[in-house]
């Protein structure tokens, strides 16, 4: 009898990173188009945009690597 397949925690971590990346990238694009009126230190680096893109990439990698509905080949013993 086979045990039910469990979903790895890394898939959920990847999905969470992806969602955070979408939100932070959206805020970064908004601040790129509509800069805030007050002067923020190092604003020209657009750190929110870069961090958002980094989270999107990491979330995509983790989510696709640990995708639970992908057929995996069992290891040979």
d(CA 60, CA 19): 10
- In this prediction, residue 61 carries a pLDDT of 96
Indicate whether 76 pLDDT > 80: no
For the record, the structure tokens of 53 come out as 């893109």
For the record, the structure tokens of 28 come out as 């970064």
DSSP string spanning the chain? -PPPPPPPHHHHHHHHHHHHHHHHHHHHHHHHHS--SS--TTGGG-HHHHHHHHHHHHHHHHHHHT-TTS--PPPP-
Q: Show me where the domains of the chain are located.
A: 8-33
- In this prediction, residue 38 carries a pLDDT of 85
What is this structure's pTM? 0.79
Q: Residue 77's pLDDT band (boundaries 50, 70, 90)?
A: low
Residues 18-75 pLDDT 10s: 999 999 999 999 999 998 888 888 888 999 999 999 999 999 999 999 988 876 666 6
């Amino acid at each position: 009898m086979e045990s039910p397949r469990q979903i790895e925690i890394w898939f959920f971590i990847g999905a969470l990173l992806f969602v955070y990346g979408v939100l932070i990238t959206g805020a970064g694009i908004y601040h790129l188009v509509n800069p805030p009126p007050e002067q923020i230190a190092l604003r020209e680096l657009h750190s929110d945009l870069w961090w958002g893109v980094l989270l999107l990439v990491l979330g995509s990698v983790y989510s696709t690597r640990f995708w639970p509905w992908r057929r995996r080949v069992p290891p040979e013993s």
